A and B are shown apart, each in its own frame.
Chain A
């Protein structure tokens, strides 16, 4: 049966045959059955654009591969099927004193998706991206074989798969190294920054001192308020930190969905006025400078997961997330100025500094500043504004995150990913007939 499939941004839906295998054997069988329009794996559909859809072809929804196969609580190693969500993993390991090595802003992503997009989190400056914490994975290749890959056994395939957007094979299982989290709480510092200078300086300082750090920017603030925001940084709270807390509120990991967006939202609910009002309130309600507050893990890492289906708030035309990384502060300032000048309405604009890049040729994070900003797709003149910023980013030697993209010009991809030729050689090796296809790979001629 053909179904309409779209990304988290709910733009550009296309029709595909969706299969939901529940074991690896069936996955291999389905890979063999794919027709001329090929196939791509899909997890929880949190990519904003089109990497997990395949118009006219086959989409393998792997959320049925949801078994955790082994958990070594001494070494902190977990082996899980590709469809296991970070949510499920966290519910399992946090009570045992462990945490996932890297989590994006939502825990509703699968292990397979996290590897394929080589996701990053608030600790990138210290710990790098998701793929750097993977010991090994099992990959079903387009020729029907299944292979276990480690960074040593086949570095080309391993790193080409981390960030490879599912175009090098279908991930079946992965073994991850967990990190210690003695309690389900975070010790969090919050600082309000009145302008961009303060924000940048504050973020640099926070990153030196903390494992996790990120800044929220009010993208609609102008004049002397331009670039104002809130810096949050933190560490996993130790047992001593928690001991000072009231005993009436035991610390347990139990993230909850607090609300759900309605099934249908009128177009234009999120507009410049409503978003400006939200941003003003959000900024004002943040403490000026607060040190050492204890916060649940969920509230610190995944605040948006508390609202189910929040992507529907953008209405029927959907939204996109623009995420770029630029090596230098000057380009970052120009990019922000352009976005502010265009009055791009966004209540979710996030700034962070990346650390060293991973060896993945299509892996997005590289040293510099990364800005991620949600924008309603119906924003007038958006295409031209973003096209202009793309050019700046490319000229500065920066990049655009493929897991977020839904509108990039294909001509720019070789500039944004200088190692693309090496990755294409890998594809020639493992998928010469290009059986692994997504709307993203078609749109950007990957």
Chain B
């Protein structure tokens, strides 16, 4: 259960090697989270993540296989996730950044990004939401991105996949209102992590720990949309309202 102060006892991570998800999970394990389920593709990475979550205070950490792109496996994966009892918080944390130039040259790569970031999230998100609804409580945390707020020419494959994910999560959250289940949408700016290694820092760059702190706070306060850092909301609001002729000339 999530207690009166917003502390969950069981956390599941879809995309268990995500640095942001790991930062969130270790913070929750320092609170009440004792049982953690880490689902991902990379078995070695998951084992490493498991060690870290155990060190943070969890006592029962299980790893399981997840292929976000293969939706035919999702029923089984989600069933496995909930087989051991209620899950209080599910983090939807998998995602591919992809390379824009490569994706433009080889559209199959773009399809891959979309099938993980959007189709995979849609398929797993709906299945998880149904389970949470049936247990009458819980929170689904969706890692979106400011890139989805307005697609840029330099990154529109990834951006459009996150735009789809973000819109899906908003609608899902509204549809679950009153069901005891909450959807928390997280929109970080540029996060310095292994996903972005080698890329130049964007303005207002943040860290997985900062994102985690904001998410844990949102679980406590009941906030449904989390921008990291907070002022990113204003920046994106400005960008969103720029006329297109101006926006497309921006070198971002």
Q: List residues of chain A with CB under 8 Å of any chain B CB.
A: 2, 4, 9, 11-16, 37, 49-50, 54-57, 316-318, 320, 377-378, 382-383, 406-407, 409-410, 439, 442-443
Contacts and interface: CB of A to CB of B under 8 A. Distances in A.
Contacts of B137: 12, 14-15, 55-56, 439
A13 B4 CA distance: 9
16 contacts: A11-B3, A14-B1, A15-B133, A15-B137, A37-B135, A55-B180, A56-B134, A56-B135, A57-B136, A377-B5, A382-B5, A383-B5, A406-B4, A407-B4, A409-B32, A439-B1
Nearest to A267: B221
Nearest to A382: B5
Contacts of A316: 222
Contacts of B5: 11, 320, 377, 382-383, 407
Nearest to A443: B1
Interface string B156-185: 000000000000000000000011110000
A95 to B, nearest CB: 40
Contact of B180 (A14, A49, A442): A14
Interface of B: 1-5, 7, 9, 31-32, 86, 133-137, 178-181, 221-222
B222 A317 contact: yes
Contact of A443 (B9, B136, B221, B222): B9
A318 B222 CA distance: 12
A378 to B, nearest CB: 7
A320 B3 CA distance: 11
B132 to A, nearest CB: 9
B4 A55 contact: no
B35 to A, nearest CB: 11
Given A11-B4, A439-B1, A55 B222 contact: no
B1 A318 contact: no
Contacts of A37: 135-136
A442 B4 contact: no
A14 B179 CA distance: 7
B7 A55 contact: no
Contacts of B1: 12, 14, 50, 55, 439, 442-443
A328 to B, nearest CB: 28
Nearest to B176: A15
Contacts of A442: 1, 86
Contacts of A50: 1, 4
B136 A55 contact: yes
Nearest to A54: B136
Nearest to B135: A56
A443 B134 CA distance: 17
Q: Is the interface of B mostly helix, strand, loop or mixed?
A: loop
Contacts of A12: 1-4, 137
A55 B1 CA distance: 9
Query: Top 8 A-B pairs ranked by shortest CB distance?
Result: A56-B136, A55-B136, A406-B4, A15-B180, A11-B4, A14-B137, A443-B1, A15-B136
A9 B135 CA distance: 22
Contacts of B222: 316-317
Nearest to A406: B4
Contact of A318 (B4, B133, B178, B181): B4
Q: Is the interface of A mostly helix, strand, loop or mixed?
A: loop
Given A317-B222, A378-B221, A16 B9 contact: no
A15 B181 CA distance: 8
B31 A383 contact: yes
Given A383-B5, A439-B1, A442-B1, 10 more contacts: A14-B180, A15-B137, A55-B86, A56-B134, A316-B222, A317-B221, A383-B7, A407-B3, A407-B4, A407-B5
A439 B179 CA distance: 15
Nearest to B2: A12
Contacts of B133: 15
B56 to A, nearest CB: 16
Nearest to B31: A383
Contacts of A439: 1, 137
B135 A4 contact: no
Contacts of B134: 56
Nearest to A438: B1
A11 B7 CA distance: 12
Contacts of A49: 4
Nearest to A378: B221
A90 B1 CA distance: 37
Contacts of B32: 409
A316 B221 CA distance: 10
Contacts of A407: 3-5, 7
Contacts of A13: 180
A156 B57 CA distance: 37
Contacts of A383: 5, 7, 31
Contacts of A15: 133, 136-137, 178-181
A373 to B, nearest CB: 14
A56 B138 CA distance: 11
Find the residue from B1, B133, B221 having the highest chain A CB count within 10 A: B1
B74 to A, nearest CB: 21
A4 B136 CA distance: 9
Contacts of B180: 4, 13-15, 55-56
A115 B3 CA distance: 25
B205 to A, nearest CB: 27
Contact of A16 (B136, B178, B181): B136
Find the residue from A2, A14, A54, A378 having the highest chain B CB count within 10 A: A14
Nearest to A49: B4
Contacts of A318: 4
B3 A443 contact: yes
A382 B3 CA distance: 13
Contacts of A382: 5
A197 B124 CA distance: 60
A127 B9 CA distance: 39
A9 B221 contact: no
Nearest to B131: A56
Given A15-B136, A442-B86, A443-B9, A320 B4 contact: yes
Contacts of B221: 317, 378
Nearest to B86: A442
B179 A2 contact: yes
